[in-house]
Amino acid sequence: MTNLEEYYNKFNEDKRLKSRHGIMEFTVTMKYVHKYLDILEKGEEYDLMETLNDHAVNKKPEKCAMENVANESIKVIASDSEEGGNNAARTIASDVQQLVSARRNKVDKSIVEELGDEHLITSDIASKNKKTKSDIRILDIGAATGGYSIPLWEEGYDVTAVELVKHNLGMLKAKGTGVKAFQGNALKLKRFKDDSFDLTLLFGPMYHLKTREEQLQALQEAKRVTRPGGFILVAYVMNEYAFLTYGIKEGHVLENIADGKLDEAFHVRPGADDLYAFMRTEDIVSLNEDAGLHRVQIISPDGPANHMRREVNALSEAQFKAFIQYQLAVCERADLLGASAHTVDILQKV
């Protein structure tokens, strides 16, 4: 039995999700899971029009990546009637599609680079037709006891779960749902064919894969089984949370330095017997680049809640609800991401 299996045989994942910091993490994460499931359900045209309208309203025209083909149309989207704006959006969408095609064929890299990632991502949503929930296939890698996969199945999605630890898998299956559950390893999802799933969750494995090679392998496997245009949501435990909690609050900083578990930049380096790997935002960016995945956005599902469990547990119900609303409001802020306990990186395979 590995250290990881021994740990999770005793760990109560269901209890963690019912804790206040667990409730916050789940609530914020599910908001974004549903955001991208909605995009998959509504299809390509909805996503293009929504993004292009937002872009026109929020960006200065001279900053817009489409300025060389559609400055006037963008002004229409921002100010004209709903019908006119939608027609203009369709015109720009057509231009975007042509430029994305140029990117794929490597005809004119300079034009494509001018667009920027947000257009390349949203213009490349694979599903050209609306889907029902039962049509959308979700893979939950590292599903534990089903904290995410079961609620999504209950909503009507086609959900498959993969879990390494037999104890967790047994608890998931014992709940008697329609989730298709298998034992498996995030590093080798040989059970599944390429391009099989619309949305892939990688919410547990990155916590425990301690080498960059393993992290990249897990990310590439998640990419392989996700269809073009599908989304991959990846959860990480952040470096500063580990340092501030274990190193400072619990008083292990000098011990960790002496053991070589903190480098001179205070980046946590797990030892052979340690269970967790800790990331900084630049580490995540580097992994994405090597995996060839495009980031749609990155959020923090729990912010400071894990840092201050005692204080959070002392809140009244009304105060705790206000704290959740706070985190929902700030979870996308770049200045807060690195110091959060967890991040969820939202990627798209194009």
With a CB cutoff of 8 Å and minimum separation 6, the contacts of 73 are: 88, 91, 92
Q: What is the DSSP letter of 207?
A: G
The token pair that represents 68 in the structure block = 């060389």
State which H helix or E strand residue 312 sits in.
helix 309-313
The domain defined by 3-42+130-238+279-348 folds into Rossmann fold (3.40.50)
Q: What is the pLDDT of residues 44-65, one digit of tens each?
A: 533 444 444 444 444 433 333 3
Average pLDDT on 262-276 reads: 90
Domain ranges for the chain: 3-42+130-238+279-348, 44-122
| Three-state DSSP state, 185 | strand
Average pLDDT on 151-166 reads: 97
Residue type, 159: V
Q: What is the pLDDT of residues 234-247, one digit of tens each?
A: 999 999 999 999 99
Q: Which residue has the higher pLDDT, 13 or 296?
A: 296
How sure is the predictor about 179, in pLDDT bands with cuts at 50, 70 and 90? very high
| Three-state DSSP state, 160 | strand
- 314 alpha carbon, distance to own chain's centre: 30
